[in-house]
Amino acid sequence: MITVFTARRVHTMDLSLPEATAVAVLDGRIIEVGSLDSLQPWLSRHDHVVDDGFADAVILPGLIDPHVHPGLIALLLACEWVTPEAWDLPGRHVPATVGREAFVARLYELEAFHPAGEPLVVYGWHAQFHGELFRDDLDAISTDRPIVLWQRSFHELRCNTPALAWLEAEEGAEWDPHIDLEAGRMWESGMGFGLRILNPHLIGGEHLGQRLEEMIRMVHGGGVTTIGDPGYAMADLDHYLDALLSVHEGANVPFRQYLIPAIFRYRLEFGADHAEKLAQHEALATDRIRFLHAAKFFADGAFIAQLMQVGPPGYIDGHEGAWMANPDRIADHIRPSWEQGRRIDIHVNGDMGLDAALDAIDMLLHEIPRFDHRTVIHHFGLSTQAQSRRMAALGVSVQANGYFLNLFGDAFVDRWLGAERASQITRVGSARRNGISVALHSDLPMGPLLPMKAASNMSTRLTLSGEILGLEERLSPYDAIAAVTIEAAWQLRLDHEIGSLAAGKQADLVVLDGDPFELDPTAWPDIPIRATVLGGEVYPCD
C-alpha cells in the first residue's frame, strides 16, 4: 500500500527538484516526490492512502547528526545538569545558568531536593561562566553528602570533603599528581582515578541500558533520523555494543545509527586480535545499527579545553596544546585502513593539528591514490585560508562542530586567541567557497543534539553574548540546512540512501511547523518539530 504524505511545502534538498507538496512511500522507500497531480500515474494503478496530517506543515529530509556519542551522553544523563547553555533532556528542561551566584543558588536547590544519602553529581560547571568553586565552597552547601561538579569540558572534577572520601581521593593523591585535596580538584588522570568509582555508580550494570533508552528521545526530539558515532564506546567495547544492540534496535527506535571504529581503541583493548575482533563486531550489524567501512583517528587535543595545537602566534597566555598522536606518524596510523579502502575520519581541532592531518592524507594519496576517498576533518576548530584551499585540492571535507563558536567564541576572543583568529573558528563559509563539502555535528555531549540549532549557529555566527564573529564565514541558509542533511549523508557515504528526498531513497523525513527558508536563521531553533518519519513510519514528537 502506497502512503502519500502531503505538506504545505516539501524541501527535497536536491536542487534538481527543490520543492514539492507530496511524498509517496512504498515499503519504506520513496517512490515519487511531487504533487497529488503528478503522482496520478502511480495512484491510479495502486492502492494508496493519503496522509494529510502534515498538510499545513513543512517536510525536509530527516536530519542527520554524523558525530554523536551515545556512550558518553548515557554517562552524563545519570547526572544533574547545570550548564551555561539551555538543554532539553529526556523528561527535563535545563535552563541556561550563567554567573557564580546563579550557579551556587542552583546547587543549593538541587541539594535540598536530592534523595537523602545519595551523592550529588552535577555536570556542566565551567569557570569561564560560573566562576571558581573549590572544596570549601562546596562544603558550605553540604558536609554530609558527596557533591561532585563535573566540568563542562570533561577534564576535571571539583569535590567537597565527603566526595573526596567517596572517590578515595586522599589515597589517589599519593599516586597521582593531578589531585589537589585542599582545592578539591581531580583533573586529567586524577579525574580518571575518581572515575573508577564514579563511572560504575552512574552507568554500572543495568544503568547503561536505561540511559541509552532515555537517549532515544533526545535523538527524536532533535528531528534526527540518522546519527553517526565515530569512536564508539569509552571502554569495554563488548559490554557497550551489547547494551547498544539490545536498546537501540527495534521498531520503537526512530533513527538509524552508524558506527565508525577508532582503531586505537581496538588495538588497546584487544592487542594482536584487534582486527579479528573488529570484524566480529562488524558482523553484529542489525537493521538500525550498522558499521561503516570507515575508521577514526586523532590529531590534536580538545577545543573546549584549549588543548588544540595552535600554530604561531599561539595562545595569548603562551600555554601549549597537546597531541593525541605523534604528528609525524599519523599516516602510519591511517595506512592500514587506507589500504582497506576505509573512509577516514580525523579528529582535528587546531591549525597545527590540521597540518599534521593534511600532511598524512597528502602522503597516503601519493602512495596509494584513491578517488572519492571522502576523508573528513572532524570538529575543525581553527584553520586558515591556505589550509582550506589545500583541503579542496586533496579532496578532504569539513565536518564542523556547530557549537564551538556560539558557546566559546567570546572566551576565545577575550582570553585565548584574540578577535581575528577567534573569528576564524569553524570557518565554514570559505570552505564552501572553495568547493568543500561542509557538514555540521554536535559531538553530543559537547553540544546539544539539535541540528537546526547547529545550522542556525553557523548561518548567523552569533556567540552567546550576541556578537557576530566572522560574518564572512557564515553559511547561506541553504548550505546550513544541507550541512545537516545531504552533505552529512555524503560524508558518511550514504547520500544514495538518505539526506535528500528523491525516488528510490529511504523515506526518512522531518516534519516542521514552519519553513526554515521563509524564516530568519535566528528563528530556526524555535521551529517546533512535529514528527519524524523513518522508513515511512511516523513517529510523532510530543
Binding interface with other proteins (CB under 8 A): 69, 72, 154-155, 171-172, 174-177, 179, 188-193, 195-196, 199, 230-231, 234-235, 262-265, 267-268, 271-272, 298, 301-302, 304, 307, 309, 311, 320, 322-329, 332-333, 335-337, 339-340, 347, 352, 355-356, 359, 366-368, 443, 446
Residue 345 touches Zn ion, criterion: CB under 5 A: no
Shortest CB 75 distance to other proteins, Å: 9
Which C-beta is closer to other proteins: that of 300 or that of 495? 300
Residue listed under C-alpha cell 562542530: 401
Which C-beta is closer to other proteins: that of 155 or that of 453? 155
Exposed e or buried b per residue across 422-435, where buried means at least 16 C-beta atoms within 10 angstroms of its C-beta: bbbbbbbbbbbeee
Shortest CB 250 distance to other proteins, Å: 26
Pairing of strands 537-540, 529-534: antiparallel
Which C-beta is closer to Zn ion: that of 351 or that of 443? 443
Give the list of residues 6+ apart from residue 162 with CB closer than 8 angstroms, or none: 142, 143, 144, 145, 146, 147
Q: Where are the alpha helices (DSSP H) in 318-427?
A: 330-339, 351-367, 385-394, 404-411, 419-422
All three cell numbers of 477: 541558509
Tell me how far the alpha carbon of residue 311 is from its chain's centroid. 26
Q: Of Zn ion, other proteins, none, which one does residue 337 interact with (CB within 5 to 8 Å by kind)? A: other proteins
Shortest CB 368 distance to Zn ion, Å: 27
Residue listed under C-alpha cell 513510519: 537
Q: Of other proteins, Zn ion, none, which one does residue 384 interact with (CB within 5 to 8 Å by kind)? A: none
Size of the residue set binding Zn ion (CB under 5 A): 1
Query: Per CB under 5 A, which of residues 32..91 are in contact with Zn ion?
Result: none
Contact indicator for 539, 83 with CB cutoff of 8 Å:
no
CA distance 131 to 101: 9
Which C-beta is closer to other proteins: that of 98 or that of 322? 322
CA distance 423 to 469: 5
Q: How many degrees, rounded to 5, is the angle at CA 444 between CA 442 and CA 449?
A: 60
Q: Of other proteins, Zn ion, none, which one does residue 204 interact with (CB within 5 to 8 Å by kind)? A: none
Figure out which of the listed residues 229, 300, 351, 443 binds Zn ion, where binding follows CB under 5 A.
443
Q: Of other proteins, Zn ion, none, which one does residue 327 interact with (CB within 5 to 8 Å by kind)? A: other proteins
Which C-beta is closer to other proteins: that of 54 or that of 298? 298
Q: Of Zn ion, other proteins, none, which one does residue 333 interact with (CB within 5 to 8 Å by kind)? A: other proteins
Please name the amino acid found at residue 416: W
With the C-alpha atoms ordered 438, 440, 441, 446, is the resulting torsion angle positive or negative?
Answer: positive
Which C-beta is closer to Zn ion: that of 156 or that of 443? 443
Which C-beta is closer to Zn ion: that of 348 or that of 512? 348
Q: How many degrees, rounded to 5, is the angle at CA 29 between CA 28 and CA 33?
A: 130
